[in-house]
Structure formats: C-alpha cells, structure tokens
C-alpha cells in the first residue's frame, strides 16, 4: 500500500448537481454529506469507475495521473456477502476473482483484528448485521488499495455498533485516501478530516472540528459541528 | 406433514365422489370401474404394472439428468455470450411454440420404439424450463455483487464462475422442480406414440382391450410416481439450498 493518493473530481451532471470540484486529500477521510438522491453515490461511482447511469461532463483524476479504478476498494451499505460462502471465502473473494492465491494467513489475521477470529468458517447468515459489515470491512482491507470508497457502509447499523465500526474502520484504513458518503451529520462530524456537503445547490466545504478523528461522540466541538451540518442539510444555515 | 394430510384428505374426497358416481350411474366396468375394482386390479396385476412402471421411471430419470445437463450448459452459454443470446433465444422461443406431441411421431420414426425416443421426449420437454429458469437467474445477479467484482478487477469468466452461477443456483432449483413435473409427461407421450414397454404403452394396451380397470390402475401408478418424483426433487432442493447457507 502506498500512502494514499489525492483525487480531484471536477464536472457536472445535468439535472443532478451543478459544476463542482471535489478534492480528496491523500491519506485522509473525506466525508461527503448530503440528503438522499442528491448524487453523493453517483459521485462515488464516478470515482470508482462503476456504471453511474448518468452523463457526467467532467474529469476524475488522481494527482499522480495514473488510472484510478485498479487502485480502489469499495464498500457499500449492503455488506454484499455471498450467503453460500464461508466468512473466510467471502473476505478472499477478490483474490479468487483475479485468479490469485488467496492470502489466508492475512485474512485470518484481519478477521482476528475485527473480533471475528472464531467465525471464519461460518456462513454470513449466522452473523449479525454489525458482524457482516465487519466481514465486508476485512474484505475491503484484503484488497489493500490506496483508495477506499465507502458508500454509507455504517448507516444500517444501530448506534453502538456503528460507533464501534467507525473506530475500527478508521484504525484499519489509516493512511489511505478514504471517501465516506453519508447522510448522517453525526458520522461526518465524528470521522471527517474534510467535510463537504452536497445539496442541489452544489458542493459546500465545511471545516471539521480541529481534534483528531475519530472524535468522541459526546465531544462538545463534535456535537457543535454536527449541529451546524444538520442546519446546512436542512437549508437553515 | 400438513401437506401430506391435505393430500390424503383430497384423495379421500375424490374417492368418495368416484364411488358415489358408481352407485348412482352404475356404469359398466369398461366405461368406469369402481375404485375397489381398480384397487383389486392394481394388486393382481402388480407385477405387470411394476415392470412397466420401472421402464417409465428409468426413461424419466435419464431424461431428467440429460435434460438438466443440457439446460445448464445452454443457460451458461446464453449468459456468457451476447452472440449466443442473439442466435439461440429465437430458436428456443420457436421450439416452445411447437407442441412436443407433434414431435413424438417423428422421434419414434428416427429413434425407434425403444427407450431412446422416450428419453429424448423427456429431455425436450424439460430442456426449456431448466434453461429458462437458470438463465433468468444468471441474468439477475444482484447489481451490488457485480459492482464489487468490478472494483476487484475480476474477469468476466471469474464473475460468472464465482458470483453469477452460485447466485443463480436457487433459480436453477425452481427450474428443476418444474422439470420433475414435466419429465414424466414427455416420457408417457413418447410411449403413447410407439413403444413396447412403459406405463403409457400399458394404458393404451389396456384401453384398446376395454380393460379400463387396468388402465385406471396404470394412471394411478403414474400419478403416484410423478408426485413422488416431484416431492423427492422438491425436498432435496429445498434441503440443499438451506444447507448451502448454513
């Protein structure tokens, strides 16, 4: 893994968002906050090189000029685990899809780090929602890519589990360029090292609290940032 | 268990209805034999019926295996190649417009009175449901899986093998359940058109000689056989699918 790569998205999608520039600084967690349907996921898919079903007039560039898609790992709200495969087979999916030999030792090690050492042989159906998302996190880590795109991966989890996984993800993904798409102001205030709010009016950059992320949930500065983000989302700020 | 009880209750209702008609109308035996007479014949002719039933069962099983294999191969071919889809789909659709009954005489002409023409009939009749169910499954891989595979740099072949085919197994299961229902129909049609063995042949023979009770007994055995086959396949698939995710 390299120390992350900077990314710039510049352009527009007619009827979705006006001309905007989104910059992801290398090795940082950038949060893209916005209400549903505003085009957050579309932006993420454009960076990932996935079919976005829109006409994008613009460019997605890495600051080193090399193509991005092979350097990206992707994690979505749905853990996208294969119900027929064991946890271990799920986290080594990437290697098998590329015809490589899966690094089972690394897979077991990472599963242990997310607290799932004893679940390697189980099928995803036997796991809770939080555990499934941990498996998805390990699968993302197994890809070992400098850029990680997270499309609301924690939004279906309960508050406690969400907070735990946020911390775990920040720890394990440290040093990578991370884009977290979320509709949750609390999440953005907690983990964002850069925060952008996307509304139909365009992209607005918001200064995150100057404490290191992940910030404590009850930190006054974080709560204040969360409130300010809320107001922006509701268009009352 | 509940399903079996319901089935038995339905059978009982039918039997009562049948017997009532016999009592009221009193038809001659060669028109409509009584349930008891059919049961008697079933018992006294058990060796004869059993022998023909075995032949039919053999044809059906072979047809099921071969038809399933062809169906799976075709569905994978269709799913992995746009050219194959463009060429084969109209042919497949057209083949469904021809009643299998219409093909039976020509198959018998080509393949003879033996077992082969019946197996081919069974294969033909199940080929489409298996192909179509599995193909639909292969084309309905959850979009999220495909996105994930794309970011992982997977080849089309690897996606087919590791994601699309496993994800389509439940759909294939539905196809196989249909096939278990259709296969006996195919085999019996083949036997009607020309055979020297099998339940279909026995029915025609019994009918021609006004042995209506024997015909009814043969129909009954065919029904039980088909039902048993379906229940077996259904239970096997349900169990296998459940185990797969445990």
Q: Please determine, for residue B177, whether its predicted confidence score (pLDDT) is greater than 60.
A: yes
Residue A197's alpha-carbon distances to A60, A175, A232, B22, in angstroms, are: 19, 23, 8, 82
Cis before A214? omega within 30: yes
- Any B CB within 8 A of A123 CB: yes
Q: Chain B residues with CB inside 8 Å of A45's CB?
A: 147
In SS3 terms, chain A reads as CCCCCCEEEEEEECCCEEEEEEEECCCCEEEEECCCCCCHHHHHHHHHCCCCCCCEEEEEEECCCCCCHHHEEEEECCCCCCCCCCHHHHHCHHHHHCCCCCCHHHHHHHHHHCCCHHHCCCCHHHCCHHHHHHHHHHHHHHHCCCEEEEECCCCCCCHHHHHHHHHHHHHHCCCCEEEEEECCHHHHHHHCCEEEEEECCEEEEECCCCCCCCCCCCCHHHHHHHHHHHHHHHCCC
The count of C-alpha atoms lying within 13 angstroms of the C-alpha of B121, restricted to the half-sphere facing its C-beta, is: 35
Using DSSP's 3-state secondary structure scheme, residue B9 falls into helix
Task: With beta carbons less than 8 A apart as the criterion, state whether B203 and B49 touch.
Answer: no
Using DSSP's 3-state secondary structure scheme, residue B151 falls into helix
Q: Which residue of A has its CA nearest to B157?
A: A97
Instruction: Give the pLDDT score at A13.
Output: 87
Residue B144's alpha-carbon distances to A51, A82, A85, A150, in angstroms, are: 11, 11, 16, 13
Instruction: Give the pLDDT score at A3.
Output: 65
Q: Please determine, for residue B140, whether its predicted confidence score (pLDDT) is greater than 50.
A: yes
User: pLDDT band for position A1 (50/70/90)?
Assistant: very low
Residue-wise pLDDT tens digits, A66-93: 888 899 999 998 999 999 999 999 999 9
Token pair of B150 as six digits: 């794309």
User: Mean pLDDT, to the nearest integer, of B166-174?
Assistant: 96
pTM score, two decimals? 0.87
Q: Please determine, for residue B18, whether its predicted confidence score (pLDDT) is greater than 80.
A: yes
- Any B CB within 8 A of A152 CB: no
Q: Closest partner residue to B245 among A73, A84, A97, by Cβ?
A: A84
* Element holding B69 (H helix, E strand): helix B46-80
Q: Please determine, for residue A117, whether its predicted confidence score (pLDDT) is greater than 80.
A: yes
> Helix axis angle, B46-80 relative to B35-44, nearest 10°?
90
Distance CA A108, CA B96 (A): 51
Task: Quote the minimal CA–CA distance from B65 to chain A in Å.
Answer: 24
What ipTM is given for this predicted complex? 0.90
Instruction: Give the pLDDT score at A236.
Output: 65
User: pLDDT band for position A200 (50/70/90)?
Assistant: confident
- Any B CB within 8 A of A53 CB: no
Distance CA A162, CA A1 (A): 26
Instruction: Give the pLDDT score at B52.
Output: 95
Task: With beta carbons less than 8 A apart as the criterion, state whether A94 and B152 touch.
Answer: yes
Percent share of chain B, pLDDT over 70: 100
Phi, psi of A214 (to 5 degrees): -75, 135
Cβ <8 Å between A80 and B149? no
User: Mean pLDDT, to the nearest integer, of A116-133?
Assistant: 94
> Helix axis angle, B46-80 relative to B165-193, nearest 10°?
140
Question: Order of strands across the sheet with A147-151?
Answer: A72-76, A147-151, A177-182, A29-33, A194-199, A202-206
Residue-wise pLDDT tens digits, A125-155: 999 999 999 999 999 999 999 999 999 999 8
Cβ <8 Å between A80 and B142? yes
User: pLDDT band for position B225 (50/70/90)?
Assistant: very high
- Any B CB within 8 A of A212 CB: no
> Which residues share a beta bridge with A74?
A149
Among residues B57, B194, B186, the alpha carbon closest in space to that of B114 is found at B194
Among residues A135, A113, A137, the alpha carbon closest in space to that of A123 is found at A135
Q: Please determine, for residue A237, whether its predicted confidence score (pLDDT) is greater than 70.
A: no
Among residues B246, B104, B158, B87, the alpha carbon closest in space to that of A99 is found at B158
Among residues A78, A70, A106, A69, the alpha carbon closest in space to that of A91 is found at A106
Percent share of chain A, pLDDT over 70: 98
């Amino acid at each position: 893994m390299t120390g992350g790569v900077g990314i710039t998205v510049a352009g527009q999608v007619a009827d979705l968002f006006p001309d905007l520039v989104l910059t992801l600084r290398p090795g940082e967690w950038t949060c893209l906050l916005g209400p549903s349907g505003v085009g957050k996921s579309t932006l993420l898919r454009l960076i990932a090189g996935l079919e976005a079903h829109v006409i994008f007039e613009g460019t997605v560039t890495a600051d080193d000029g090399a193509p991005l898609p092979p350097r990206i790992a992707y994690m979505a709200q749905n853990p996208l685990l294969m119900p027929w495969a064991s946890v271990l087979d799920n986290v080594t999916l990437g290697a098998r899809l590329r015809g490589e030999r899966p690094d089972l030792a690394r897979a077991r090690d990472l599963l242990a780090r997310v607290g799932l050492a004893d679940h390697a042989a189980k099928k995803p159906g036997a796991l809770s929602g939080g555990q499934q998302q941990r498996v998805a996190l390990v699968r993302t880590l197994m890809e070992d890519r400098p850029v990680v795109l997270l499309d609301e991966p924690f939004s279906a989890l309960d508050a406690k589990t969400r907070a735990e996984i946020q911390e775990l993800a920040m720890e394990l993904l440290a040093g990578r360029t991370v884009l977290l798409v979320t509709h949750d102001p609390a999440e953005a205030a907690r983990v964002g090292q850069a925060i952008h709010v996307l509304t139909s009016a365009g992209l607005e950059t918001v200064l995150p609290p100057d404490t290191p992320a992940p910030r404590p949930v009850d930190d006054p500065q974080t709560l204040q940032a969360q409130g300010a983000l809320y107001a922006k989302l509701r268009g009352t700020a | 268990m509940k399903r079996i009880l319901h089935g038995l209750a339905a059978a009982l209702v039918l039997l009562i209805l049948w017997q009532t008609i016999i009592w009221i109308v009193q038809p001659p035996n060669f028109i409509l034999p009584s349930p008891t007479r059919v049961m008697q014949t079933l018992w006294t002719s058990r060796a004869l019926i059993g022998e023909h039933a075995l032949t039919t069962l053999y044809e059906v099983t072979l047809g099921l295996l071969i038809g399933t294999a062809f169906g799976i191969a075709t569905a994978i071919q269709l799913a992995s190649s746009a050219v194959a889809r463009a060429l084969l789909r109209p042919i497949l659709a057209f083949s469904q417009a021809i009643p299998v009954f219409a093909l039976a005489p020509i198959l018998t002409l080509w393949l003879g009175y033996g077992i082969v023409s019946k197996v081919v009939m069974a294969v033909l009749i199940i080929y489409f449901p298996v192909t179509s169910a599995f193909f639909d499954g292969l084309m309905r891989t959850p979009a999220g899986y495909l996105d994930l595979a794309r970011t992982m740099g997977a080849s089309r072949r690897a996606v087919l093998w590791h994601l699309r085919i496993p994800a389509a197994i439940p759909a294939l299961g539905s196809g196989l359940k249909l096939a278990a229902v259709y296969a006996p129909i195919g085999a019996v049609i083949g036997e009607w058109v020309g055979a020297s063995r099998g339940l279909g042949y026995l029915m025609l023979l019994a009918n021609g000689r006004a042995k209506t009770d024997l015909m009814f007994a043969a129909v009954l055995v065919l029904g039980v056989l088909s039902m048993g086959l379906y229940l077996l396949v259904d239970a096997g698939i349900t169990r296998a699918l459940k185990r797969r995710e445990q």
